[in-house]
């Protein structure tokens, strides 16, 4: 949601904080700010707008100099984006940055007002925390953090400095992610590892309610009760380059091109003797045989990967699968039993609703499996079993490579489960797995093959006010993702629809020239989909059809054809995804939008 950073070391603190925040702007970018110890006093610089607005402001008004401080980039939850609502926020002696949400901030604010603490400047929940810390501060930072945390409800990660504890940064977390990175003679806090990878690859994961004290270039950990803690130092297995744009104009385009490698890295270690083998992730053949029902629970793009998973698992393994939006699942009192498997899919592993769904599933005794990209994230740690997707850091807000690797894991699970249940024989399982293994090359070819046509067709989309994405079967599952991708970065209203359902109401939306993007990769359903395409074309729609290179689709149905390689139709989603991503990307570029940071969105949704 927001990004927080902190630094204690020998470098210029402002430079480090700004550099680290640059890597966290994907988490929020409607205001930015820092607080630095300058000559023993806390100097604050903050502004509404992007980080570049903050650096411009510091250039004209002067930037704080020092060696310890905290910083923030914001995605507004409480109070509009404004200078005054920007972090850091201060009490009399305490200044903080905060990622997350304080659910009971109104009651706490009232409590403070009742206790003659009514010095509130902003509309934020964060300022209430700063004032509460201040209220409890009696010269002992740990005690004051403990008392404050005791009062807070919600999810949060905090970077805290006390005016009478110069050159020291405190950090604590509850739900929202936070790492502490250790360099040579310098130490950092950050919401995510890429923020500081330029300085060091070594980091600690701060656990629930652990406090980190950063001082003299080193860190000490303690519990809320002040008990010293030993923690395991982890090393990131990717470097700065893999978190940079590498010559691409946008992270999104870079990440689209990284998909072949991401899929290869994800599936290769899970294939043995030509067959899927997920035992390393804790998934046994016996357990795969035994599940009564499978729930796939996720949000947004990750949920769309689950939709594809449902089709494939049901078809191959003959097990019933329900896909749920996490924010619905957590409140709909689902019929979960100990014989069910709940698969939580999440790129970040920190999405609040997905995490709550996981907790609910565990409470009800179901087995839980996380499909997660970020190592050591909350969902990965809390699930019974975890399959990591190895996409590497995904920086663009619009998910591409993470979706692709989530698909690849859905296939691995479906193949292994179908084989374990005796629904397919070894040879069929081997053949399917071999096709999955060939996907990186097919995806790579597809990217190069469709790039130009997608770029061209996007010029026909930019003036549209609204469009439809349609498909049947797996293509329908895919159209949901195509539609989401397009709307979130192009800002064109788009809906996905089951092609056969159009005539039950939605077809009345079709007007002259309205773009309809049809996915028609499922041969068994091709004729039916083509009739639906003809129906919208006959009513004036401009039709763009994504189909395989052999599909017989004439100009009577398609104004534009995007041909992709023909492979096993069950695996077509991994290929058809590519033109959908590129159409969205180029439409956004052609409209002059901020592709990697679309308005109102944040990469990691750690609030409900
Ligand atoms: C859209 C997108 C989002 C995420 C969703 C879940 O491009 O990225 O819809 O898929 O917010 O996020 P994770 O996967 O981190 O749980």
Q: Which one of 399, 600, 604 would you pick to mutate in the ligand 1 pocket, going by the greatest count of ligand atoms within 8 A of its CB?
A: 399
Q: 83 to each of 14, 46, 76, how far by Cα in Å?
A: 19, 7, 12
| Strand 542-548 to 560-564 pairing | parallel
Query: What is the structure's pLDDT at 285?
Result: 87
Q: Are 373 and 402 in contact (CB under 8 A)?
A: yes
- Would you say the CB of residue 131 lies under 6 angstroms from ligand 1? no
Query: What is the structure's pLDDT at 238?
Result: 67
**Which of residues 93 and 245 earns the better pLDDT score?**
93
Q: Looking at the structure, tell me whether residues 430 and 371 fall in a common domain.
A: yes
Residue 608 lies in a domain: no
Q: Looking at the structure, tell me whether residues 300 and 158 fall in a common domain.
A: no
**Which residue in this structure is represented by tokens 């700063």?**
130
On average, the pLDDT of the chain sits at 94
- Would you say the CB of residue 391 lies under 6 angstroms from ligand 1? no
Residue 603 lies in a domain: no
> What CATH number does the domain containing 302 carry?
3.40.50.10490
Nearest one of 9, 175, 181 to 98, comparing CA atoms:
175
Number of Cβ within 10 Å of residue 285's Cβ equals: 15
- Would you say the CB of residue 605 lies under 6 angstroms from ligand 1? yes
* Domain end call among 197, 217, 243: 243
Percent of the chain at pLDDT exceeding 90: 83
Q: Which residues pair with 32 in a beta bridge?
A: 47, 73
Ligand 1 center–CA 298 separation, angstroms:
8
Query: If you average pLDDT over residues 63-82, what whole number do you get?
Result: 90
Q: Looking at the structure, tell me whether residues 422 and 474 fall in a common domain.
A: no
Length of the chain equals 608
> What CATH number does the domain containing 23 carry?
3.60.20.10
Query: If you average pLDDT over residues 265-269, what whole number do you get?
Result: 94
Q: Looking at the structure, tell me whether residues 390 and 526 fall in a common domain.
A: no
Query: What is the structure's pLDDT at 27?
Result: 73
Residue 605 lies in a domain: no
- Would you say the CB of residue 398 lies under 6 angstroms from ligand 1? yes
Ligand 1 center–CA 36 separation, angstroms:
33
Please determine, for residue 537, whether its predicted confidence score (pLDDT) is greater than 90. yes
Model confidence pLDDT, tens digit, residues 369-414: 999 998 888 999 999 999 999 998 899 999 999 999 999 999 999 9
Ligand 1 center–CA 346 separation, angstroms:
7
Model confidence pLDDT, tens digit, residues 470-501: 999 999 999 999 999 999 999 999 999 999 99
Torsion, Cα of 212, 99, 297, 502 (10° steps): -160
Query: If you average pLDDT over residues 327-333, what whole number do you get?
Result: 94
Nearest one of 390, 396, 358 to 373, comparing CA atoms:
390
Q: Looking at the structure, tell me whether residues 451 and 584 fall in a common domain.
A: yes
Read off the pLDDT band of 335 (50, 70, 90).
Answer: very high
- 366 vs 353: CA distance, rounded Å: 17
- Would you say the CB of residue 389 lies under 6 angstroms from ligand 1? no
Q: Looking at the structure, tell me whether residues 188 and 236 fall in a common domain.
A: yes
Residue 373 lies in a domain: yes
Query: What is the structure's pLDDT at 56?
Result: 96
Whose C-alpha lies nearest to ligand 1, atom 16?
A: 346
What positions carry a catalytic annotation?
A: 2, 603
Query: What is the structure's pLDDT at 1?
Result: 66
Q: Which residue segment(s) compose the domain that 261 sits in?
A: 252-437
Query: What is the structure's pLDDT at 604?
Result: 72
Please determine, for residue 333, whether its predicted confidence score (pLDDT) is greater than 70. yes
Residue 606 lies in a domain: no
The beta-carbon contacts of 138-146 under 8 Å, at least 24 apart in sequence, are 139/164, 141/165, 141/170, 141/213, 142/211, 142/222, 142/224, 142/226, 143/226, 144/94, 145/170, 145/172, 145/211, 145/224, 146/224, 146/225, 146/226
- 252 vs 399: CA distance, rounded Å: 8
Q: Looking at the structure, tell me whether residues 345 and 493 fall in a common domain.
A: no
Residue 604 lies in a domain: no
Ligand 1 center–CA 341 separation, angstroms:
22
Query: What is the structure's pLDDT at 222?
Result: 97
Query: If you average pLDDT over residues 128-135, what whole number do you get?
Result: 97
Model confidence pLDDT, tens digit, residues 406-464: 999 999 999 999 999 999 999 999 999 999 999 999 999 999 899 889 998 998 999 99
- 500 vs 487: CA distance, rounded Å: 22
Model confidence pLDDT, tens digit, residues 199-243: 999 999 898 899 999 999 999 999 999 999 999 998 887 667 666
- Would you say the CB of residue 327 lies under 6 angstroms from ligand 1? no
Residue 607 lies in a domain: no
Nearest one of 174, 169, 173 to 187, comparing CA atoms:
169
Range in 101-105, 243-247, 465-469 the model is least confident about: 243-247
* Domain end call among 382, 417, 437: 437
Beta strand extents in 451-601 (DSSP E only): 466-471, 493-498, 515-520, 542-548, 560-564
Residue 491 lies in a domain: yes
Number of domains present in the structure of the chain = 3
Q: Looking at the structure, tell me whether residues 425 and 289 fall in a common domain.
A: yes
DSSP at 228: E
Q: Are 187 and 218 in contact (CB under 8 A)?
A: yes
Q: Looking at the structure, tell me whether residues 119 and 227 fall in a common domain.
A: yes
* Domain end call among 420, 437, 454: 437
Query: If you average pLDDT over residues 20-24, what whole number do you get?
Result: 90
Q: Looking at the structure, tell me whether residues 362 and 390 fall in a common domain.
A: yes
The whole-model pTM stands at 0.78
Q: Looking at the structure, tell me whether residues 505 and 414 fall in a common domain.
A: no
Q: Are 479 and 519 in contact (CB under 8 A)?
A: yes
Q: Which one of 251, 255, 299, 380 would you pick to mutate in the ligand 1 pocket, going by the greatest count of ligand atoms within 8 A of its CB?
A: 299
Q: 96 to each of 54, 446, 456, 489, how far by Cα in Å?
A: 18, 48, 48, 32
Please determine, for residue 606, whether its predicted confidence score (pLDDT) is greater than 80. no
| Cis-peptide into 88, omega within 30 deg | yes
Q: 172 to each of 156, 210, 214, 481, how far by Cα in Å?
A: 8, 6, 11, 36
Query: What is the structure's pLDDT at 74?
Result: 87
Please determine, for residue 587, whether its predicted confidence score (pLDDT) is greater than 90. yes
Q: Which residues pair with 475 in a beta bridge?
A: none
Q: Looking at the structure, tell me whether residues 263 and 340 fall in a common domain.
A: yes
Query: What is the structure's pLDDT at 566?
Result: 96
Sign of CA dihedral 169, 174, 176, 179: positive
């Amino acid at each position: 949601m927001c990004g927080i950073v902190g630094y204690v070391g020998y470098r210029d603190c402002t430079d480090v904080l700004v550099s680290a925040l640059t890597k966290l702007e994907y988490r929020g970018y409607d205001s930015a700010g820092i607080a630095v110890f300058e000559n023993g006093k806390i100097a604050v610089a903050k502004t509404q707008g992007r980080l570049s607005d903050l650096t411009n402001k510091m250039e004209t008004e002067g930037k704080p100099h020092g060696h310890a401080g905290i910083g923030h980039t914001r995605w507004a939850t409480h109070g509009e984006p404004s200078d005054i609502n920007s972090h850091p926020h201060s009490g009399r002696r305490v200044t903080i940055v905060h990622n997350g949400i304080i659910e009971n901030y109104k009651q706490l604010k009232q409590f403070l007002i009742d206790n003659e603490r009514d010095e509130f400047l902003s509309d934020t929940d964060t300022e209430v925390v700063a004032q509460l810390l201040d209220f409890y501060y009696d010269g002992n930072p740990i005690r004051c953090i403990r008392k404050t945390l005791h009062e807070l409800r919600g999810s949060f990660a905090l970077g805290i400095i006390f005016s009478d504890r110069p050159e020291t940064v405190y950090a604590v977390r509850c739900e929202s992610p936070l790492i502490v990175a250790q360099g040579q003679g310098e130490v950092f806090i950050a919401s995510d590892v890429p923020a500081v990878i330029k300085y060091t690859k070594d980091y600690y994961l701060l656990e629930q309610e652990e406090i980190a004290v950063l001082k003299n270039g080193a860190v000490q950990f303690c519990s809320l009760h002040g008990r010293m803690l030993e923690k395991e130092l982890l090393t990131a297995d990717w470097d700065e380059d893999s978190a940079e744009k590498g010559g691409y104009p946008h992270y999104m385009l870079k990440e689209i091109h990284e998909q072949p490698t991401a899929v290869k890295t994800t599936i290769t270690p899970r294939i043995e003797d030509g067959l899927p083998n997920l035992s390393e992730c804790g998934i046994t053949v016996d357990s795969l045989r035994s599940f009564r029902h499978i729930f796939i629970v996720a949000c947004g793009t990750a949920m769309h990967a689950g939709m594809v998973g449902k089709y494939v698992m049901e078809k191959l393994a003959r097990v019933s699968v329900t896909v749920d939006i996490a924010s619905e699942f957590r409140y709909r009192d689902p019929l979960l039993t100990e014989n069910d498997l709940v698969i939580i899919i999440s790129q970040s592993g920190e999405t609040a609703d997905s995490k709550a769904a996981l907790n609910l599933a565990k409470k009800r005794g179901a087995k839980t499996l996380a499909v997660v990209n970020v190592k050591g994230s909350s969902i990965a740690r809390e699930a019974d079993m975890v399959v990591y997707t190895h996409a590497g850091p995904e920086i663009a807000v619009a998910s591409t490579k993470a979706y692709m690797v989530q698909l690849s894991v859905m296939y691995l699970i479906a193949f292994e489960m179908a084989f374990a249940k005796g629904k397919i024989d070894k040879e069929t399982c081997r053949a399917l797995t071999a096709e999955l293994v060939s996907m990186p090359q097919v995806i790579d070819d597809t990217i190069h093959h469709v790039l130009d046509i997608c770029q061209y067709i996007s010029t026909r989309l930019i003036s549209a006010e609204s469009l439809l994405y349609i498909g049947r079967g797996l293509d329908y599952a895919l159209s949901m993702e195509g539609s989401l991708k397009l709307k979130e970065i192009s800002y064109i209203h788009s809906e996905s629809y089951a092609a056969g359902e159009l005539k039950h109401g939605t077809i009345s939306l079709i007007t002259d020239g309205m773009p309809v993007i049809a996915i028609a990769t499922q041969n068994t359903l091709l004729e039916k989909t083509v009739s639906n395409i003809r129906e919208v074309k006959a009513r004036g729609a401009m039709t763009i059809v994504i189909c395989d290179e052999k599909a017989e689709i004439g100009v009577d149905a398609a104004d534009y054809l995007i041909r992709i390689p023909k492979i096993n139709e069950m695996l077509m989603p991994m290929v058809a995804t590519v033109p959908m991503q590129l159409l969205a990307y180029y439409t956004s570029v052609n409209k002059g939008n901020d592709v990697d940071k679309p308005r109102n969105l944040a990469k990691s949704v750690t609030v409900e």
